[in-house]
Amino acid sequence: MDLDQIRALVADDMNAVNDRIRERLRSSVVLINQLGHYIINSGGKRLRPLLVLLSARACGAGDRHHIDLAAIIEFIHTATLLHDDVVDASELRRGRETANALFGNEASVLVGDFLYSRSFEMMVEIGSMRVMEILAHTTNTIAEGEVLQLLNCHDADTPEERYMEVIQSKTAKLFEAAARIGAVLGGQPEPVEQAMAAYGMHLGTAFQLIDDVLDYGASAEEMGKNMGDDLAEGKPTLPLIHAMRVGDANQAGLIREAIEQGGRDYADRVLGIIQATGSLDYTRAVAAAEADRAAASLAVLPDSPERQALESLARFSVTRGF
């Protein structure tokens, strides 16, 4: 299945999720409505709520809170984007100006806080302590990942293992929660819940690694952000870490300087080095291995269109160009 076919499986549910997002985004504070709707309607792929819907169906959940939980997952994701863009001083996301560029840093941070608090308000309404436990732990882990990434910025000695820890905490953890919740809603036993969590973790890791590749190989129109943003921010992503490890002394020295200094002056030279050292291919291979692990985790589920869609989503995570 391609992404359109995957989405078609749960199109009615996704329309309901979008309606729920608009309904629960409402506030008596006008700025919250304006900024919240701007970021929610800015063309995201909605992969995380899609993952909730597919996992819930694949695990036999029926209609037990999956719409609300998909909306909650998207609210949490959106809150992290608002905060990320402030921390990174980003100016472009999904091909549009970031909320902080338009509305200011203060408003973006505070509306991000509103989305977090609205998410937990909705969780209380669902009344599942297990769901609360999963999502409370998830948001805490994401925050830790953000801090770890901040500590890694401009640190050219960041090893691959520490970088993987960052992306598993910062990005993959919410994928893990989305897939795990599907199993919880379906009343599945612990082994199935753990397998679905593993699926989400490996899928999210693959997804972020391909983002790392696309940061050096996709246009701003394709990615919705400027090429080389990570390098400009001094983030030691996997292509850079690998190029430093296998490149010669001059190549490693230039990348070290680029990470430590940040900015865009090094972009063309660094791109040449990571291409010459095969670092993009290496990162794609690591992502492909993660996607294979994700697909293998689905062996606990009976065959169904939703399971096939989840397998296809794992393949999409590494073949996508946006």
> Would you say residue 223 has pLDDT above 50?
no
Contact between 235 and 166 under an 8 Å Cβ cutoff? The reply is: no
Query: What would the pLDDT profile of 127-147 be if each residue is shown by its tens digit?
Result: 999 999 999 999 999 999 999
> Would you say residue 222 has pLDDT above 70?
no
pLDDT of residue 5: 95
Alpha helices in 25-128 (DSSP H): 30-40, 47-58, 66-88, 99-103, 105-126
DSSP helix/strand/coil, 97: strand
pTM for this structure? Answer: 0.93
* Residue 43 banded pLDDT, cuts 50, 70, 90: low
186-208 as b/e, with b when 16 or more CB fall inside 10 Å? bebeeebbebbbbbbbbbbbbbb
* Residue 237 banded pLDDT, cuts 50, 70, 90: very high
With tokens 């992306």, the residue in question is 167
Distance CA 73, CA 13 (A): 14
Contact between 321 and 212 under an 8 Å Cβ cutoff? The reply is: no
Residue 92's region, left for phi above 0, alpha for psi from -120 to 50, else beta, is: beta
The strand pairing partners of 97, in sequence order, are 92
pLDDT of residue 96: 81
Query: What would the pLDDT profile of 66-125 be if each residue is shown by its tens digit?
Result: 999 999 999 999 999 999 888 878 887 766 888 888 888 999 999 999 999 999 999 999
pLDDT of residue 196: 98
Task: Name the average pLDDT for the chain.
Answer: 92
Query: What would the pLDDT profile of 143-191 be if each residue is shown by its tens digit?
Result: 999 999 999 999 999 999 999 999 999 999 999 999 999 999 999 999 9
> Would you say residue 22 has pLDDT above 70?
yes
> Would you say residue 41 has pLDDT above 90?
no
pLDDT of residue 319: 94
pLDDT of residue 225: 52
- The lowest-confidence range among 56-60, 102-106, 216-220, 298-302 is 216-220
As a whole-number percent, the residues of the chain with pLDDT over 70 amount to 96
pLDDT of residue 27: 92
| Distance (Å) of CA 82 to CA 5, 36, 189 | 30, 10, 36
